[in-house]
Structure formats: structure tokens, C-alpha cells
Structure 1
Amino acid sequence: MSEIPTITLNNGVQMPQVGFGVFQVPDDGAQEAVEVALEKGYRSIDTATIYGNEQGVGRALAASGVDRDELFITTKLWIGDLGAGKAADALDASLERLALDYVDLYLIHWPAPATDDYLDTWQQLDALGTAKTRAIGVSNFLPEHLDRVAALGGAVPAVNQVELHPAFQNRETVEANRRYGIATEAWSPLAQGAALSEPAVVDAAERHEVTPAQVVLRWHVQHGTIVIPKSVTPSRIESNFDLFGFDLTASEMTAIDDLEAGGRIGKHPATFNG
């Protein structure tokens, strides 16, 4: 079983650098996929209210027999729960679906900047304490959103989970995260497979006798990024976790860095409001 390194978040909590995501996995499928992931050695699982699969994740956790203190569970507050007085109830509802007493990381899923409700919600999360979530963070926040959260004068997000892959490296946001001491976590780290046919990736995979997906995930890891690849195929679940038996060279890293093309595949956080 691979030994996964951890990232120390800005509140001292240790988060595994490689986790397992369940975006677009239906509830019954999530249970099966998470059970496989846990059997293969994953201990960090990422879900969200809007995914509709927190119950399936919870069933997998309960069936796994893995001690709770070995797990790192992330879920997210959806846009409909932004605004005054909603955050605590939203977290309680997620905990009930997950059948957990606490999560390890609770994220605001999108800023939805048509209103300023994300600011009020952040203050609610800051006031929650650590009984029900060990760390709080955000997802899809641009530098301008981080600046406004920091200006509130309270806690700084521990994590910003953003779209990040070779064709869209989100460099301004990554730099803002670094400036504030926020860990960067990549969703869609493989660009839904689009990155895997790039010659720079394929060539490196052949040299290291690994898969193109392993090369791209290793590129993330060597940049210090947290990754949460998703798959429902057991062999890919296993190989996506096996990233620590090889190192990309400086020239291989640069060749993948050079794939930046501004190729965002998800919604734009400046305009997406749910």
C-alpha cells in the first residue's frame, strides 16, 4: 500500500495529498467506488451536498471498518445554503447523510458573487468551532473573493479547491492561495482525460513505465497540489493512487507546465451563481 504524504493546513491539520473524488457518481455507485478506494489505501474522500451521494459515501465508510481517525472526509455547502443562518444547518444535514459526527474539511462550494452571501457564510463557518469540522475552506474562489474573505479579519481558508490541470493551471489563483497560506486542491486534475494524450505526458509515461494519468497526477503532486482524481474503474482507482515510485525530471515538469492554454472546462467563478 502506498504511503501518502500529507499537507499541513494553515490550522495545523494534516490532509492527505492524494484523495478520492466522487463528482458525478450516483449514490449507489459512490458506495461501491469508495469501498474500492478505501480497500486500495485511500483515506481522503471528497464529496459535496450537490453531488447527491453523501449517503452512499457514508455507507461505504461504515462498511469499510477503517477507524474514523484514519479518514479525512470533505464535503461542501451548496449555493442554496449561502446566506444568513444557514451554514450550521447545512453542515448538520451533511453529517446526517454521511452518518458522521464531524467532517475533516467543510468548503463553500462556489462564491456565487451576484450577492455577497459567501462573506456572511464564511463568518458562520468561522464561528462553528472544531466540533463538527476540523478545518474550513472554499472552492472555486478567485483572488478577488479570497481578498474579500481575508479582509473580514477572521480565519483564512485552509484550502481552496479549484479547477487545475495542465491546460488550465489557474496560476493567479494558485499564487493568491500561496500568498494567504491556503493549500491548493485540484478538481478535475486530469481535465476529464483531455490531458492524457498530450505528447509531453505520453512521452514521460513511456520513460517511467507508468500511465499518462499517473504522470499528470505526479506533476500535480510535485507542484505541492492536493489532488482528488475520480474513477469508478478499480484498476484506475488503484493506479491513480500509486504516484510515489517515480519522480518527473525538471524538463518533464517544464514540458507539462508549457501545456497551459487557458482551457477552463468548468463554470467561471466570476459569473456562475447556481
Structure 2
Amino acid sequence: MSNLPTVTANGAEIPALGFGTFRMNGADTARMVRHVLSHGYRHVDTAQIYGNEAEVGEGLAASGVARNDVFLTTKVWVANYRHEAFLRSVDESLKKLRTDHVDLLLLHWPNAQVPLAEQIGALNQVKAAGKVRHIGVSNFSTALMAEAVVLSQAPLVTNQVEYHPYLDQAPVLAAARKAGMSVTAYYGMADGKVIDDPAIQAIGARHGKTAAQVVLRWLVQQGVVALSKTVSEDRAAANLAISDFALSDDEMAAIHALARPDGRLVSPDGLAPVWDAVAA
């Protein structure tokens, strides 16, 4: 079992390492969710647009782990942000996930076609109805985060963003902490690019760890919630094994120093906001 810490944010206790299911097909999703839960993971992340909520629910049910012991996150897709569609989509997600609530519900991307107040209002409504324990956002800039915080009656607990050694997210981290929020990191492996990075490999060699384990440790050691995704049961176990070592201040700084101006990998046209500027 894992002894990973939790991240506390505006009343939420979020397991610091979550299992992500982005770009994972249905059969692999059901198999891997069942496997990782039975081997110590306690946080699973999905989204309406991933098309695998039903298989996440299947894996959760098959795992034998009690529902209340799992921190379950899903995200409302941008096409469902109008109030009635939002409420209907959440009910559909709960049915697919085979649960009466999720632990965290996020707005998946900004959508300027629907007033942010309407989006945040719907988030608050499903929370008040008991269908959601905590609410938050994803892929929001610091400006949008600040606006969302002001609009929300209930506290927001996270902003889920792309974060890896090649992308400096210092502005988002600082803004989140000021608001009492956490940052959840996706694409921590930079779509596999970190695996062959000599600097990260060298740090891993000193600790007897893989590059992936080093990066997950780097994220968690910052107080960031890290999502890891794999269809390999062995790699899932390895990704969980990051509690038995710590990175030095110099090692943390060396990984931070890998950030570069063109490090962002995920910025889809029509969805991405005006991102925060970072130091070159």
C-alpha cells in the first residue's frame, strides 16, 4: 500500500498521486483502474470528453475498494457549460461512474461562449445538491482563476494544468497557493520526453529510481498533486513507489532549470486561454 501524502486545499484532502485516464481506451481503463486501486492508489481522474467514465466506474466497482476510500475526479466538457446541460451532464457522469457523487468536479477548459458566472453557478449548484464534494477548474490562467474564485460561493480546491520540468508554472502555483487552492499536474512526463532526459536520468541513477519516479517525486515534493497514466501494471506500481526517497534542494533546482519558453505542449485552438507569461 502507498504511504503518499495528501494535499490539503480549501477543505479538500487530495491524495498526492492520482491515476489519470486521458487517451485510455475502455478495456484498458477498466483493467487499470481495478488494478491500481487494488494496489494502493486512492485517486482516479477522468473526464466526460475522455469517453471512459463508464469503464472507470466498472473498474472502481470491481476493485473491491470502498467508494468512500477513493478520491474520484471528473470534468465537465465545454459543450455542457450552459446551466441545464451542465446539470444533465453531471447526472449522466454519475450514472456512468456508478456513484451518487464525485469527490471533485472541474470545468475542463475555459469557454468564453458561456458566462463564467453561469459555469461557476452550476458547479456550486451540484455541490449544494451533494452530487459533488469539491469543485475546481482546469486549464485556467491566473486571471481566470481569480475571476472564478470571486464568483464562487464554495471554495475552489484546485486548478488542473499541464506541468512538467520543461514548463514553468510558477505564476499559477503562486496564485493557487494565495487562494488556498492546490495545483494538479497533468502531462508530468511531458508526453514521454522526460524519460530520456540526461539530467533527470542522472538524478534517478543517484537514487536508484527511474526518470518517471524522479519527476513524480519532484511534483509531489512541491505540494503539487501529480497525475500519472500508464496501461502497464508494472509501471503503475513503479509510479507509486516514490515515498522512499527525497530530492535535495539542488536536485529540485536542477529540474526546475530545465524549463524553457517553448515548453508548453497542450494549447488547443479554441480552448486555450491567454496563458500566463513566464520568465525566459
Corresponding residue for residue 195 of structure 1: 194
Q: Which residues of 2 match residues 94-243 of structure 1 at below 5 A?
A: 94-113=93-112, 115-128=113-126, 129=128, 131-152=130-151, 154-243=153-242
1:131 deviation in Å? 1.3
Per-residue deviation, residues 64-96 of structure 1 (Å, max 9, x unmatched): 111111111000000110123322211111000
Provide the secondary structure at the position in 2 that maps to 1:92. helix
1:267 aligned partner: 267
Aligned to 1:71: 70
1:149 positional shift = 1.4
8 Å Cα contact 1:108-1:118 kept in structure 2: no
Q: Give 1:271 shift.
A: 6.3
2-structure distance, mates of 1:6, 1:25: 25
Where 1:158 maps in the other structure, the secondary structure is strand
Kindly state the Cα deviation for residue 183 of structure 1 after the two structures are TM-superposed.
Answer: 0.5
Q: Which amino acid counterpart does residue 102 of structure 1 have in structure 2?
A: H
Q: Deviations over 1:222-260 (max 9, x none)?
A: 111001110001111000111100001111111001011
Distance 1:130 1:104, change over 3 A: farther
Where structure 1 has 5 or more consecutive residues not aligned to the other structure, the ranges are: none
Using the size of structure 1 for normalisation, the TM-score is 0.94
Q: Deviations over 1:195-244 (max 9, x none)?
A: 22222211110000011100010000111100111000111100011110
> Is contact 1:17-1:226 (8 Å) kept?
yes
Q: In angstroms, what is the RMSD of aligned CA positions? A: 1.5
**Does the 8 A contact of 1:200 with 1:252 survive in 2?**
no
Post-superposition Cα deviations, 1:92-131, rounded to whole Å, max 9, x if no partner, equal 1100011111110000000123x24333111111132161
Alignment match, 1:8: 8
How much has 1:267 moved relative to structure 2? Answer: 1.5
Aligned-pair identity in percent equals: 38
How many angstroms does 1:13 deviate by?
Answer: 2.4
Matching of residue 91 in structure 1 with residue 90 in structure 2: yes
User: Aligned with 2:228: secondary structure?
Assistant: coil
Q: 1:39, CA displacement in angstroms?
A: 2.1
* Structure 2: gaps (5+ residues): 276-280
Aligned residues: 270
8 A contact 2:121–2:152 mirrored in 1: no
Query: 8 Å contact 2:81–2:114 — kept in the other structure?
Result: no
What does the per-residue CA deviation read over 1:7-59, in whole Å, with 9 as the maximum and x for residues that have no partner?
1120x221100010000001121001111211221010000000000011101
Secondary structure at the aligned position of 2:192 is classed as helix
Equivalent AA in structure 2 for residue 144 of structure 1: A
In structure 2, the partner of 1:56 is 55
Distance in 2 between the 1:234 and 1:140 partners? Answer: 29
Asked if structure 2 preserves the Cα contact closer than 8 Å seen for 1:111 and 1:140, the reply is yes
Cα distance in 1 between the residues matched to 2:114 and 2:206? 49
Partners of 2:117 and 2:108 lie apart in 1 by 13
- Verify the 8 A CA contact 1:112 1:271 in the aligned structure 2: no
Q: Tell me by how many angstroms 1:6 deviates.
A: 0.8
Distance 2:83 2:39 in 1: 41
* Partner Cα distance (1:119, 1:258) in 2: 38
Check the 8 A contact 1:21/1:45 in 2, yes or no: yes
2:16 paired with 1:17: yes
**Equivalent position SS for 2:240:** coil
Give 1:245's aligned residue: 244
Secondary structure at the counterpart of residue 266 of structure 1: coil
What does residue 81 of structure 1 align with?
80
Counterpart amino acid of residue 7 in structure 1 = V
Letter in 1 for 2:254: A
Say which SS state the counterpart of residue 24 (structure 1) adopts.
Answer: coil
Q: Secondary structure at the match of 1:55?
A: helix
